[in-house]
Structure 1
Amino acid sequence: MSTRVTVVGSINTDDAIRLSRLPGPGETVGAHSSMTALGGKGANQAVAAVRAGASVRMAGAVGAADGAVLLDFLARDGIDIDAVARLEDTASGRAVVLIDDAAENCIVVVPGANHAIPAADVDRACAALRSGEVLLLQNEVPAHISARAARRAREAGAHVIWNAAPAPVSRGDIVADLDLLVVNEHELVVVATLLDTPGQDLRSRLADLSDALGTDVVCTLGSDGAAYHLRGGESGHAPAPRVSAVDTTAAGDTFTGYLAALHTLPFEQRLRAALAAASLAVTRPGAAPSIPRRAELEPALFERTSR
């Protein structure tokens, strides 16, 4: 039986532009190509979770102009979009992504409808949560919406995962009711500093943050894989497969979506499978279009082990 995942998060139109190098201040640089596709951390993670084999429900908001196109992309992957609000008086979120020949990127996001998600739609999506299911959150929607969803999920006995990306700007942006925090190295430092647990190195930051929030913590390390600290005191590191990266835009979203979808597998096994999926995603251009399906990965990654 597949894991049921509810995603409360952002839905964007992504304009991805490829160029030889990222421009400096005041500089104009010619581009190789451009591509427009579905994006937003919420949508990307929903796509990753469903392609990993989960049953996925999405809650969020889109605007009137291009909302139908974005919803069609989600529905084509089999994602339940009934809890996505269609807002007539605002535009959908939009991101401009610049990617250079070294696969480095910089991103500018206009939140649009993502910052106007009706609380009633979030409540409706979370009301369907049951014990053993997963709520997946990011940080591209208002903090009060994520906090509201997390409380509803906890009341239902669901497992709450928060990807603190982009990094929060204040302590009030931090989701308190959660079971797993996913961050990259920059986000780890920001969250730890906001909670006055800066630590001296990666290992101590993970341990101190886990203690402060009472949650498991995973930190993605790019091509170096991921490190973690669990509430019981266990810590470790999982390496990532070596690949030639083309576009790293959706790597973290692929990792997090797979991690949520594989909730019933042992923790270290979930990490290995999520890292394999993210490593494959970076070999392809685009955000949501780059996310692999479970069948593209080694079947052994998903066979239950003893731990």
Structure 2
Amino acid sequence: MEQRGCKCTVRGSINHDEYFHVERIVRPGETISSKTHESQVGGKGANQAVAIVRAGGIAYFYGTVGRDGTWVTDKMKHYGIDVGGIIVSDDPTGRAIIQVAADGENSIESPGYFPETSHLLLQNEIHPRSMAYALDNARNATIIYNPSPLPSDQELSRFPWNKIDWLIVNEAEAAGICRSLNRSRANTTANMSTRELVFLLSAHPSFATTNIICTLGGDGVLAFIPTFHRPKTAHEAPSFMHLQAAKLQGEIRDTTGAGDCFTGYFVQGLMEFGPYAKVGKTIREQEIARILKMSVYAAGMCVEKMGTIESIPTRAQVEARMSASP
């Protein structure tokens, strides 16, 4: 797909992931044996950069590795990522310990010059100063933020949400941000549906123009796009876009990279409309639905395989699955 001059700078984490395959996720204070162990490239930033490339896009990665991590950089080059922004430090490369249980669930413990770019993708595995620098220097870029893992309440309350064009969250993250920004209603948010939480979030002044994408796991994805869905009057109910999850062609084997796969595919979908595309003008509602559908399919295919980066499907594979689906 033609990129129309678009490239995405991913400012994020890159780790040396240690995978331990276990019968179930270990409990606090417990010791269990793993069945197998393997080392792979990881980190949410690295995962999402690879997903953008697998979806057909151009990704520039900016992050830090230690002198022990040259193999990580080489691996990223192999995946097709421009690694000109990777800095080598004297500190060791970040590591993440990932347990993958027999049912596919995962548990992750993570340790943590700006280019001209059309799109900037951020997650929350980097230092807040690095995040602020990227936000301040991404001039005229479309900014996508996936606040995972969720920041502290203090960080959430200070974050410059008005700079974000697209917010990609899961249900727990949406609830956490709502509680932090609407503390007077903290008791009521606990009983809200996901739609109510997303609409409450969109009603906050900092989110007046922010497009919110909320992933729902096996229930698909929910989107609130202010241009299309914000009520015109106080008596009108909000509308949403909801897409069902893709039907799997096998069992769930590993959920570790599904969210990053979804995010990368979604960002690539936005880039196909050019560097200055505007929702409601260049990008219409049905086109957002098309981007979401492909992203959902890609994430569904991801959980059918073990691993993180290795499980992210190519654009051709996703299109073939979609064309074969009813």
TM-score bin (small chain): 0.7 to 0.9
Q: C-alpha distance in 2, partners of 1:30/1:81?
A: 36
Q: Which runs of 5+ in 2 are unaligned?
A: 231-238, 274-282
Q: Does 1:241 align with 2:246?
A: yes
Residue pairs, 1:220-259, within 5 angstroms: 220-232=215-227, 233=230, 234-243=239-248, 244-259=251-266
Residue 300 of structure 1, CA deviation: 9.1
Counterpart secondary structure, 1:61 = strand
The structure-2 alpha-carbon separation of the partners of 1:175 and 1:106, relative to structure 1 and needing over 3 Å to count, comes to: farther
- Residue in structure 2 matched with residue 22 of structure 1 by the alignment: 25
In 2: Cα distance, 1:20 partner to 1:175 partner: 42
For 1:69-108, what aligned pairs fall within 5 Å after superposition?
Answer: 69-88=71-90, 90-108=91-109
Give the number of the structure whose alpha-carbon radius of gyration is greater: 2
2:181 is matched with: 195
1:256, 1:175 → 2: CA distance? 21
In the alignment, which residue of structure 2 is the partner of 1:305? none
Contact 1:227 1:237 in 2 (8 A): yes
User: 190-199 vs 200-209, which deviates more?
Assistant: 190-199
Map of 1:63-212 to 2, 5 A cutoff? 63-65=66-68, 67-88=69-90, 90-111=91-112, 121=113, 124-125=114-115, 128-129=116-117, 133-153=118-138, 156-173=139-156, 174-176=159-161, 177-196=163-182, 199=189, 200-212=192-204
Work out whether residues 254 and 281 of structure 1, in 8 Å CA contact, stay in contact via their aligned partners in 2: yes
Change (3 A) 1:273 1:211: same
- Which residue of 43, 47, 50 corresponds with 2:50? 47
Per-residue deviation at 1:210? 2.0
Q: Match for residue 236 of structure 2?
A: none
| Partner SS for 2:16 | strand
Contact 1:210 1:230 in 2 (8 A): no
Any unmatched runs of 5+ in structure 1?
112-120, 303-307
Q: Does structure 2 retain, via aligned residues, the 8 Å contact 1:168–1:190?
A: no
Q: Which AA in structure 2 matches 1:184?
A: N
Alpha-carbon distance in structure 1 between the residues aligned to 2:164 and 2:60: 19
- Give, in whole Å, the separation in 2 of the partners of 1:300 and 1:283: 13
Change (3 A) 1:110 1:44: same
Query: In structure 1, how many angstroms separate the alpha carbons of the residues matched to 2:107 and 2:95?
Result: 14
**CA distance in 2 between partners of 1:58 and 1:257 (Å):** 13
1:43-83: CA deviation from partner (whole Å, max 9, x where unpaired): 00000001101111111111111x21111111112211111
Partner amino acid, structure 1, of 2:193: D
The residue number in structure 1 matching 2:214 is: 219
Counterpart-to-counterpart distance in 1, 2:38 and 2:202: 39
2:136 & 2:53 partners in 1: Cα distance?
A: 24
Identity of aligned residues (%): 33
Which of residues 31, 34, 39 is equivalent to 1:36?
A: 39
Deviations 1:110-161 (A, max 9, x none): 22xxxxxxxxx3xx23xx12xxx211000000123213212322xx221100
Matched-pair contact (CA < 8 Å) for 1:11–1:40: yes
Report which stretch shifted further, 38-47 or 265-274.
Answer: 265-274
Which residue of structure 2 aligns with residue 115 of structure 1?
none
CA contact (8 A) 1:171 1:195 kept: no
2-side partners of 1:102 and 1:175: how far apart?
38
Q: For 1:166 and 1:181, how far apart are their aligned partners in 2?
A: 14
CA contact (8 A) 1:51 1:293 kept: yes
Equivalent residue, structure 1, for 2:276: none
Deviation at 1:22, TM superposition (A): 1.7
- Secondary structure class of the residue paired with 2:39: strand
| Partner SS for 2:253 | coil
